[in-house]
Amino acid sequence: MSTYHAIRSSGLVALTVCLGLLACDSKDKDATTTPPATTTAAPTSGAGKPATTAATTPKGDTSGGGKAAAGDKLTAEQLAFYQRAFPKMARATTKAIPKELIRAEDQSNTTYREAFDEGGTLLGYLRDFEGPVTFKDACECNPLKLTLAFSPGLEFKTIISPAPLQKYGHEPMTDDELKRLEAIVAEPDPKLMETPTIEAVVDGTSGATKKAYQGMVVPRAALSTRRIAALVRESQQALAGAPLSDAQRELNTIMLAAAGDPAKLTSGLAAYLKGKPDIRISSQVYPRLAETYAMLLEKGGDGARQADVEAVLLKPELNPEVDGSLVSMACEIAARAKPDGTFTRECLQILDDRANAGLAIGEQPAGIARGLVAAHKGDHADVIRHLGPVLKDNLDRVTMVDPDLVFTLIKARAADPKTRDGICPLIEEIAVHHPRHPELRDSATRAGCAGAITEAEGRRKANLIASRVPEAERTTTPTLQLAEGAPITPATFSRPTVVLFFATWCPHCQREMPHIVQFARDLPGRFKDKAALIGVRTATARETEPYDAFATRFQINFPVRVDTPDARALSTLADAAGLTGGLPTLLVFDDKGRIAYNMAVGPHSDTAQDLTWALESLLSK
């Protein structure tokens, strides 16, 4: 596991979205994700005439094409209009919303504005909008002309409009009705938003609000209420996605320009972060920069150091609330890659300086970094001093994703007879999550912790049984069409059956295959004909090795079905059962063809034992 993923998986780094630069994890922290067979389009609520008119608010020059500018040239009239939402607003910058984030009927509304005060502090966002109330001809409504205002955190703030919004019969809303509208669209009743179309809230003949929705809308303005409530949600999604789309394009350009050169990549990412991008983006780019730079130093030593990169890593100045945590994370990444490196030492000095100045740091990654440096020096007391508190507060989580860090503390404790008493609980925790870790048995024997292994086995079995889907909550498996042979249906499962979805090109599947082969070898003697195992070879479009060669190499000894090249069977099952669709996917079905277990797999799992316990639990009911 890479240093970045070790930290990320441990929860010490919180990421909000996945850019193309970064991998998204599946059930197995090292799993390969299979793309879904279908994609989801932007939300719609019915077909009709698209809006073709431009938004009508007081006019002023924009930055053109959605590109960020030093500031829009707002007229006094326009500024006064926007100050109804943000009284301290002094300037604005227009940005583009990618068309794929906007419903088809609203494609003329493709920009939003960032609102700033005189000092340059972001006050929030404004989206000017003009469009029809409904998407059908049934409504004789004037188009909506309004501006939605949102806080920096994208919470809905208010509605402003050049002229009063209208109710049925073109009657203007009162101030109280507008306040009521704002309260409704800020937190609409879920039943209102579940209507398949805007028009569904009114009677098709009389135009009156249906009784089921009265109280959820402004009286005599049901259609406008429903439309604006949806528009608020859609605008929040668009405002969240627009910066990410722009950032993706810019980051892709940086990646292409680097052409596989780590030094060019780190320089490019550092320059990008100097531009102070949205914190949602920078909080993801920064870890990638830290990891790439650490690997660069690990290979090239101090001769590979880059002053421009270190300036960003050590003093990011991205957001006062997270800067300390980011630097602490960079120190941890550096310490994992090169604990004796000059950059690692200087990074830890920066943390000391921040702490002495009363500035926040990330205590957990800082403790890990200092503990790893101490381990490299052989300072066992310092290892215990720094890693002890980290693992005390996060033992289960850290052990699950980073057992080697726990072994670092075990070795430090083992060096001093006075600290050996704390080893067995650590051994037990590793044995729960990593029963086949290569260091586990020897470490337990040397520390006299054989009982910890036994305790861990009991916990593992209890945890597994507790993960079983309750019988009342199991759903029938849909028909899974295959590339060859009969489809998989509930009738396929006349007895508890283990199903392994795997791909020959998937390294994690290859890692798991010997354990499955061993389980298949023991299956007849342990369960006779009461249980079964089948494999489903999926995502075959990416295969590079003939299957016969793969089967020979891994000594496949169980029947294997063949999914479609685009993994349709796996995607269908994942959608129906709420699975990640990662590879490998290992499931245990009951004798009615319903998923009873979704098995976790990992590099140190005891898959054969876990499957045995799962089948025994189904057969013993």
What does the DSSP assignment read for 384-440? Answer: HHHHHHHHHHHHHHHHHH-HHHHHHHHHHHHTSGGGGGGHHHHHHHHHHH-TT-TTH
Is residue 332 in some structural domain?
A: no
Is residue 117 in some structural domain?
A: yes
Is 560 within 8 Å of 535 (Cβ atoms)?
A: yes
Mean pLDDT lowest for which of 15-24, 464-473, 563-572? Answer: 15-24
Checking if the pLDDT of 23 tops 90, the result is: no
What is the reported pTM?
Answer: 0.67
Is residue 560 in some structural domain?
A: yes
Is 329 within 8 Å of 13 (Cβ atoms)?
A: yes
pLDDT in tens, 233-277: 999 999 988 887 888 888 999 999 998 899 999 999 999 999 888
Tell me what pLDDT residue 58 has. 42
Is 582 within 8 Å of 26 (Cβ atoms)?
A: yes
| Amino acid type, 229 | A
Residue 497's H or E segment, with its range, is strand 497-502
| Amino acid type, 467 | S
Is residue 314 in some structural domain?
A: no
Is residue 326 in some structural domain?
A: no
Structural domain ending residue among the three candidates 190, 221, 240 = 240
Tell me what pLDDT residue 277 has. 84
Domain count, the chain: 2
Give the confidence band of 139 by pLDDT, cuts at 50, 70, 90. low
Is residue 177 in some structural domain?
A: yes
Give the confidence band of 46 by pLDDT, cuts at 50, 70, 90. very low
Edge-to-edge strands, sheet with 91-96: 91-96, 111-116, 122-131, 144-150, 156-160
Q: What is the CATH number of the domain that holds 599?
A: 3.40.30.10
Among residues of the chain, what percentage have pLDDT more than 90? 75
Residue 586's H or E segment, with its range, is strand 585-589
Q: Mention every residue, 6+ apart, whose C-beta is less than 8 A from residue 574.
A: 34, 36, 580, 581, 585
Residues β-bridged to residue 338: none
> Which whole number is the average pLDDT over 464-493?
94
Is residue 615 in some structural domain?
A: yes
pLDDT in tens, 191-206: 999 988 899 999 888 8
Is residue 27 in some structural domain?
A: no
Q: Mention every residue, 6+ apart, whose C-beta is less than 8 A from residue 274.
A: 312
Give the confidence band of 70 by pLDDT, cuts at 50, 70, 90. low
Domain that holds residue 215: 76-240
Structural domain ending residue among the three candidates 193, 215, 240 = 240
pLDDT in tens, 520-538: 999 999 999 999 999 999 9
Mean pLDDT lowest for which of 103-107, 136-140, 366-370? Answer: 136-140
> Which whole number is the average pLDDT over 494-507?
97
The DSSP result for 50-72, as a single string, is: PP-SPP-SS--B--STT---S--
Structural domain ending residue among the three candidates 218, 240, 262 = 240
Tell me what pLDDT residue 137 has. 62
pLDDT in tens, 312-357: 999 999 988 899 999 999 999 999 999 999 999 999 999 999 999 9
Distance CA 610, CA 621 (A): 17
